[in-house]
Every structure is written in structure tokens, then in C-alpha cells.
Structure 1
Amino acid sequence: MMDIPKGPKSTLVRKFQEEEASPASPHEENSSPTNNGSTGKLTSTIQLARPFLTRNQIIHAHSKNVENQVAFDQRRSQVFSFLMKASSSLKFPARVLETSMYYYQRYYILNRFDINTYLDVAVTCLFVASKNEDTIKKLRDILALTNQLRSQTLSSEQSEIYRKKILNFESKLLETISFDFRNFHSEEFLIKFNKVLHKSKSDSYLSWLILFDSYQTEISLKLPPHVIALSSIILASKLEDHRASFKVDFKKFGCDEKLVNEGLLDLLSLYINSFNNTNLSVTHNDYEIRFMRIKVEFDESKPGFIKDIESTVLNKDEFFNQRDFSNGERRYMLESQKKRLYSEIGK
């Protein structure tokens, strides 16, 4: 079951300062290390990876980094279409596309959205995703294909400059995801859950389409893969049989009912607001009207949701502060390494 982050303590475990043995002058006190050996004061931060965020945390992050949410959402749809074409042309498996879509949304949690570079960020996400999913292609091959899709012709000198630009974005992306390369794919859970529930092939295929469409939402930023899988199965069951219940044995699947409700809400919002942009619309075009009926039934069932983090706590959460790349150092750790970290602090 997922542990919902509860505020600043889950992000910045410890801040410490290392000062040189001899007292620094007032001018040197806040300086970074220099080549002549004078270190001044160095601020170091230990940050735990935070793979999942709450709805309010995402809204809070976008308030800092996205000036126009409507424009951001429109560009996101364009980017996902671009990534689908690029991934298909490069013959990447679906998991590379899914990871790149996740990385793209993750990038703008901590980085300012720039209309001039968002496609460059998308290319970077595809490149990093291909490495993380062990389907590595050379960067120059990816750039050749994506430049062609963008109708962008570059000289050899311009290509080298652009390659370095992508590598710079890669460095920022790696810090944004806290060097957390754990994969959060839901397909395996979907297959197992459908078998346990004795779903037919048509129902299983429908839930897979819904699961694939879910990557167009922020659901992968908020919920673990087994919860997304169960949410997709429940929605598919409601589409095929309106008498199907929103309730299942959640404990049997290791899911929190409130988190599953969160997933259902995101999926319903996607299909109600952007049905024509989904893969489901291609194979089940007549299902569009069913989602509004399901949404009404869902609201009438009075679903419970996880209590979100209050704005007063979010404002103090240093995780969402923009990174100053020119000063200090940062050490990234997974949640499982927390015990090791505390043992180091105690020494």
C-alpha cells in the first residue's frame, strides 16, 4: 500500500554545512568551493526520492512552474502524439512510450515550462526512457528521427550543439526524478488481476486500452501501478455492464479503496473531457455517452478519497523549490535507504 507523502520531512531529511577549519571572511562565508582551495561554506542536501504525489502537490508545483495551465495541457497532448509517432517509428516497445510520458509530466513538477523547449524535453524523456527500459538506441539515431518528425534540418555543427543541449536536459531530468529508475508499469498487475477475477478476453482487452490511455493523465504521478490496474478493470466492467459494482475486495489486491476512487475519477475525467484523443475512441467509438452515466453513478455512490495535504504544509515543503544548480550539492536516495542514512547521521 502506498505511503502518501506528509510534507517537508519526507523530502529533505537533513541539511548540513561543512565549514573550513579556519574562519572565513564575510565575503567568503556564502561562497562555493574554488580552485584555490578556499571552500567557504558548502550547503549540502539529502533528498529522498518521491515517486508519487498527491493532487494538491501537483497543483502546487504547477502554480510555480506553469504560467498558463490551458496552454500546458494543450502542448502536453501534442507531445504525447509526437512521442507515440517517434516511439512507433523507432520500434520501441510500449513500456518505453509509457515511461517517456511519465518522465515528461514529472519534469515539469520541478522545472519551469518553456514553450520554446518543451519538444526538446520530450526528446530527452524518450532517450532516457529507452535506456531505463533496456532498449537503448544511440542518441544520434533518436535525434535524426525526431528532427525529421519536426521537419527540422540541422547542419553537422548545429546537430552537435543540439546533442549537447539534449544531454544537458538529460542531467536536469535525472535530478528531477531523483535518479529513481524504478519502473512503475501496470500491465503485469492488469493481467494477474483479470485472471483472478475470471474476466473474458474482451473485458481484459478493454481494461488494457483504458490502462494505456491512463498515461495521458497525471494518474501515474499519483498512484502505484497495482491501483491503476484495478481502477482500469473496474471502469471496464462498468462500461460492459452498468450493473457492475464499484466495490471489489480491495484488500485482496493490496489496494486502498480511496486510492482506487482517485484513479477512477481521473479516468472518467479523461474520457468525458477528451474522449476523441484516446485510443478507446478508435475501437469503441459508441462508448462515449456511457462515461457520463458512469460518472453520475460514481458520484451517487459517495466515494471516499484520501485527505490531501493542506496548502500551509505545501508552502513549507522544500521539495518544490526550484533547484539552484550553481550552489551546493545534493545527494539523492531511495526511501529504502533511509535507515542507512540515519545510521550515517548518527556517526
Structure 2
Amino acid sequence: MGNEFTTVIQVSKQFLSSEEIKQSQESSLMKDQQYQNYVSKKQEVMRFLRFLIIRLKFPIRVLQVTSYLFQRFFLFNSFRKYSSYSHEIAVTCLFLSIKMNDCIRKSRDLILVAHDIRLSPPLNSDEVVKDESDLTHILAENKVDEQRKKVLYFERLILECIAFDFRHNNIEDYLIKFSKTLSLHPQVGYISWLVSVDAMMTEVILKQSPHVIALSSIVLAKLLYPEIFTDKMVITELDSLDLKYSRFQCERSQIYESVNEMMEFYMSKNQLANSFLFDFLPKDLKFNDLVINLKLELPNHFDIPPNKRKAEATINKDDLFYKERDYEIGKAGTILFVYNND
């Protein structure tokens, strides 16, 4: 493809439909039958990122952009080709995310701590915090330089992959505003926040804008709370909660799709190991069974007929946007990166 074009226009598209994601994965994952390997590796990387963010004392909001960039990269790049560099790509995504969230740290710090975590993976979040006063002994300086070069290399690929589109809004900001508007009980607000953090590790962040994810997290927290806790006063407050989606510039279908996908995350026992919400819940709770039962009733909560299916949008399969990225174009020709109106 690099020899066929001298000038290419690459449009930035922040959020994609399920059909568009599936079409993009045809090139990056499906053609090599790598999808299950990718899912497994993504779970491993998200756990690694969780520990890395906690260890470096970054605000959890940096996980949102980090996860978005990581998943976005493997939408448009061959997993078979780059799977062995998954952790280096994850560190690069985190490096970009902290710059976009004004939490500046040197790449050297990230590389050293990331290497230490990979050498001695913590069993849980309580084991993460360590003294960072001296990590220089764990990796020789020439190895640090090698890793830094990899970070710079993948940084360029990721920036081209997102068309240098740095626009982003934090889910957390919307969640705080919505919680205040709805006068949510603090415990329900906290559960909503935990759900929103878990949502950052799913494909929801590739599909929906932050305000939709924030409201979806509140909706899911509202469904979960009465099944887990017995505080009648809070449950009564939730029953009277007026969730008019249009009031928050959201569509019913968007909330339904987001909540449905978040529930699928909780239905996977492997993914529960990464869940912030699951760590908060009572240990004897059969959470997996609870979510399965709620998911079966989900269409009723949204007044959606069981047999009603969303019509799939028509996608031009020959559109280069959905193809694997060719980074050789920029070496011999020109790429014009253009923002869209999402």
C-alpha cells in the first residue's frame, strides 16, 4: 500500500460503532485468528497497567486514555506482529496519557517501575506500593536507553494511529457532575465510580463518549445496589431516581449498549481479576451469577422488546480507514491528518 499512494488523508474518528470495530478487527486480529490471544493479552496488560498506575501514584483517570490508546492501536495494527511488544506499547500509551492529563513523569521512571512490576508481579493492589527511592539497580542504563527508544518509536506509531487527535474528556468529571445533579447517595456514587473505572478496560471507551459512559455507570450501579446491599433508605432513593437520558444528552440505545457490555465484562471470571468494583464487594457474594440474572432482565429495564435487534450500518469494507495502518507512507509521501466532527 505504501508504494501506491504519495498523499493520503487520514480522518480522525474518536468513537466507532460495534460494526466499525468488527470491520477493523478483520484486518488486525481476525485474519490471523488472533482474537482470543488478544483478549487474553489485553487482560494481562490491563492488570499490569493497574499496578503500574497505583505504584506511580497517578490519578486513576489516566487509565482511561491509556486503555483507549492501547485498544485503538491493536484495532489498526497486526496483533501477531506486535504482540511480543504489548507491555512496551502499554507503557508508551501510559506515557502519552500522563502528558495528556498533565501528570508529567520521565519516561525513565515508567520504564524502571514497569520492569520491576514485570519481574515481580504483585498478587493484588495492596502489594503494589514500594519505595521508589532507588530502582536503578534493577535495569542497566544501556537497557533503559533501549526501552526509551522503543517508547519513542511506538509513540510515533500511536500518534499516527489516532491521527494526532488529542481531544479527550474525563469520564470522572461527568460522573461527578451527574452525581451532584441527581443527588446520588455517596455509596451509590462510589459504586458508580468503580463501575466507570472498570468500563475503561472494555471496548465501551472505543464506542461511546465519556458522558454516556458516566451515565451508564450510574444506571448499572442503580441496578446492582439493591442486589448487593440492604439499606432500605438508599434503595428507596434509587427507586425514585429520575433518569431521563435526554436530560444528559444521551440516547436510550447508547445507555443500553454500554450497560450490556459492562455486564459482559463482569460475567467473565478472568476479567473480574482486574475489576475495581469486585475488590470492593463482599467476598462471599456470587457476583457472576448476580450479573447474569440482571443481564437477562436488562431489556425489560429499558423497555426493549426481546426480539428487537439494531439494524447494522452499512460499512464500506474497502475504506482504508478500517485497514491495517501502513507507516511507510509517511516516509515516501504525505499523510494529511484531519479532525472529524464527532
**Which of the two has higher C-alpha Rg?**
1
Tell me, in whole angstroms, the C-alpha distance in 2 between the residues paired with 1:332 and 1:43: 14
Q: 1:181 to 1:80 in 2, by over 3 A?
A: same
Q: 1:44 to 1:292 in 2, by over 3 A?
A: same
For 1:112, the equivalent position in structure 2 comes to: 78
Question: What percent identity do the matched residue pairs reach?
Answer: 31
Tell me, in whole angstroms, the C-alpha distance in 2 between the residues paired with 1:238 and 1:245: 13
Q: Is it true that 1:283 corresponds to 2:280 in the alignment?
A: yes
Q: Do 2:112 and 2:139's aligned partners in 1 also have CA atoms closer than 8 Å?
A: no
- Two-structure CA RMSD over aligned residues (Å): 2.6
For 2:132, the equivalent position in structure 1 comes to: none
Q: Do 2:2 and 2:326's aligned partners in 1 also have CA atoms closer than 8 Å?
A: no
Q: 1:246 to 1:109 in 2, by over 3 A?
A: farther
Aligned amino acid, residue 116 of structure 1: S
- Selected match of 1:62 from 14, 20, 25: 25
Shift in Å, 1:48: 2.1
Tell me, in whole angstroms, the C-alpha distance in 2 between the residues paired with 1:299 and 1:257: 11
Q: Do 1:60 and 1:314's aligned partners in 2 also have CA atoms closer than 8 Å?
A: no
Which structure has more RCO (C-alpha within 8 Å, separation ≥ 6)? 2
Listed as ranges, the matches of 1:133-152 within 5 Å are 133-151=101-119
Tell me, in whole angstroms, the C-alpha distance in 2 between the residues paired with 1:187 and 1:293: 28
Q: Do 1:213 and 1:278's aligned partners in 2 also have CA atoms closer than 8 Å?
A: yes
For 1:49, the equivalent position in structure 2 comes to: 12
Q: 1:158 to 1:205 in 2, by over 3 A?
A: closer
For 1:27, the equivalent position in structure 2 comes to: none
Listed as ranges, the matches of 1:299-318 within 5 Å are 299-300=299-300, 301-302=303-304, 307-310=311-314, 313-318=315-320
* Count of equivalent residues: 298
Q: 1:244 to 1:70 in 2, by over 3 A?
A: farther
Unaligned runs of 5+ in 2: 121-137, 228-237
Tell me, in whole angstroms, the C-alpha distance in 2 between the residues paired with 1:245 and 1:321: 48
Unaligned runs of 5+ in 1: 1-29, 33-40, 339-347
For 2:298, the equivalent position in structure 1 comes to: 298
What does the per-residue CA deviation read over 1:294-313, in whole Å, with 9 as the maximum and x for residues that have no partner? 21111344267754323xx2
What does the per-residue CA deviation read over 1:322-341, in whole Å, with 9 as the maximum and x for residues that have no partner? 232223221112225x9xxx
Tell me, in whole angstroms, the C-alpha distance in 1 between the residues paired with 2:10 and 2:2: 22
Tell me, in whole angstroms, the C-alpha distance in 2 between the residues paired with 1:228 and 1:191: 12
For 1:216, the equivalent position in structure 2 comes to: 201
Q: Residue 45 of structure 1: SS of its match in structure 2?
A: strand
Tell me, in whole angstroms, the C-alpha distance in 2 between the residues paired with 1:127 and 1:192: 28
Q: Is it true that 1:234 corresponds to 2:229 in the alignment?
A: no
For 1:177, the equivalent position in structure 2 comes to: 162
Tell me, in whole angstroms, the C-alpha distance in 2 between the residues paired with 1:31 and 1:60: 21
Question: Could you list the runs of 4 or more consecutive aligned residues of structure 1 that deviate by over 6 angstroms after TM superposition?
Answer: none
Q: Residue 115 of structure 1: SS of its match in structure 2?
A: helix
Q: Is it true that 1:88 corresponds to 2:54 in the alignment?
A: yes
Task: Please give the TM-score of this superposition, normalised by the length of structure 1.
Answer: 0.79
